[in-house]
Amino acid sequence: MMELTQADLTLLLLAQNTTIRVVCCHTTKNKTGYDIRPECRIFNGKRMPERIFIFLKEHGLPVQTKYTKPEHLNRLLRLLKPFAEFTRKPQGYLDALKHLDTLPVLRVQDDVIKALEILDGE
């Protein structure tokens, strides 16, 4: 029987309290009116245990409950890979992994259409 280390248990706790998905929503932050991007939410915005706080800092991540920057998402996806099936939405993990670098920055309406076509092409 394989024993889990403290780091493994912390990572498993993180995975079980993580929701990763591709988000499509209305926004006023850009002129297209839409936001389509992968995101990761940890502990659903609730207070996280100290061990997760320390783990994130040790792995060069800012301590926050929502991640949207590609460099942070790349690191989180890589860290969570061994426990991806334990995330709240395992398919969301796969979708975010697949589309992390494929979705265009939404500057004009054509970018929104292109992003939706990419997501539709699954």
| Average pLDDT of the residues in 101-113 | 89
- Residue 27, sorted as left (phi over 0), alpha (psi -120 to 50) or beta, turns out to be beta
- pTM of the entire structure? 0.86
- Could you tell me which of 41, 47, 50 has the C-alpha nearest to residue 80? 41
pLDDT tens digit string along 62-81?
999 999 999 999 999 999 99
Question: Which residue carries 């997501």 as its tokens?
Answer: 119
3 state SS of 17 = coil
Residues ≥6 apart with Cβ < 8 Å to 121: none
For residue 122, pLDDT beyond 60: no
Bigger pLDDT: 2 or 23? 23
- Indicate the fold that domain 6-120 takes in CATH: Endonuclease I-creI (3.10.28)
Average of per-residue pLDDT values in the chain: 92
Residue spans per domain, the chain: 6-120
Question: Which residue carries 């006023």 as its tokens?
Answer: 28
